[in-house]
């Protein structure tokens, strides 16, 4: 049986009724996120609380190896140009969304020093998401549009099972442009870290 609000009389036998649908779904809050037990990873994406377990070994290995490859030349300036702050799994607070990418980087021209804070409200310049069967759809369909809205310039998607790297750059009208896709043992120069050659096979090493 349909439910209706009280009628509004419009005159001579006419009344306007407004249907009452299901109540609006409550937007998840940071308190909801804090209530998620460790060691689960919790994010708020488009107002919905998402939780996932800690990553499997291949996922963790790829993220750790990639961070290691980039840290020296770009964060510390050893064998590369420096000029970046690169972090593992930073918590991003972006206008009500709470995202935890596997890796993120800020150009020092935008964030000269790392703030002493548990979360970052300044969107990064580069984000890397390491895909898994349970997160790939969310990373592509929900998190990438948020990164575009926040003007994150580059996004990398690493798939440790398919052994691929996809590199995206933010283009006109905040649309993602594919700069390239590499696989397996390829040697890669990929923006914004094309100052060095990345040995992709190192990410899959057992």
**Structure-token pair, residue 61:** 């290995």
DSSP assignment of 13-47: TEEE--B--SPPPPPP-HHHHHTSPTT-EEEEETT
**Two tokens, residue 189:** 């120069």
Residue 140 to residue 132: CA distance in whole angstroms:
11
pLDDT of 124 reads: 98
Residue 135 has pLDDT above 60, yes or no: yes
**Contact call for residues 100 and 90 (beta carbons, < 8 A):** yes
Mean pLDDT over 110-132 rounds to: 97
Inform me whether the pLDDT recorded for 4 exceeds 70: no
139 with 147: CB under 8 angstroms? no
| pLDDT interval class at 9 (50, 70, 90) | very low
> Considering the chain, what is the average pLDDT of its residues?
90
In this predicted structure, the answer to whether residue 14 has a pLDDT above a threshold of 70 is: no
Share of the chain above pLDDT 90, in %: 86
Question: Tens digits of per-residue pLDDT, 182-201?
Answer: 999 999 999 999 999 999 99
* pTM for the predicted model, two decimal places: 0.87
Q: What structural domains does the chain harbor?
A: 53-203 (3.90.1570.10)
* pLDDT at residue 16 greater than cutoff 70: no
């Amino acid at each position: 049986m349909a439910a209706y609000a009280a009628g509004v009389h419009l005159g001579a036998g006419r009344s306007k009724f407004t249907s009452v649908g299901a109540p609006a779904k409550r937007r998840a809050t940071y308190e909801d996120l804090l209530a998620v037990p460790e060691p689960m990873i919790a994010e708020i994406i488009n107002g919905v609380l998402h939780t996932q377990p800690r990553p499997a070994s291949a996922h963790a290995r790829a993220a750790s190896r990639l961070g290691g490859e980039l840290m020296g030349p770009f964060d510390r300036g050893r064998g590369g140009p420096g000029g970046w702050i690169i972090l593992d799994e930073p918590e991003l607070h972006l206008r009500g969304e709470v995202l935890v990418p596997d890796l993120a980087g800020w150009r020092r021209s935008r964030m000269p020093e790392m703030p002493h804070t548990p979360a970052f409200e300044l969107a990064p310049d580069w984000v890397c998401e390491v895909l898994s069967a349970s997160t790939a759809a969310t990373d592509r369909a929900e998190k990438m549009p948020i990164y575009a809205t926040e003007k994150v310039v580059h996004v990398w998607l690493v798939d440790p099972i398919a052994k691929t790297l996809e590199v995206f750059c933010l283009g006109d009208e905040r649309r993602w442009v594919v700069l390239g896709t590499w696989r397996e043992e390829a040697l890669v120069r990929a923006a914004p870290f094309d100052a060095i050659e990345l040995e992709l096979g190192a990410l899959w090493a057992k």
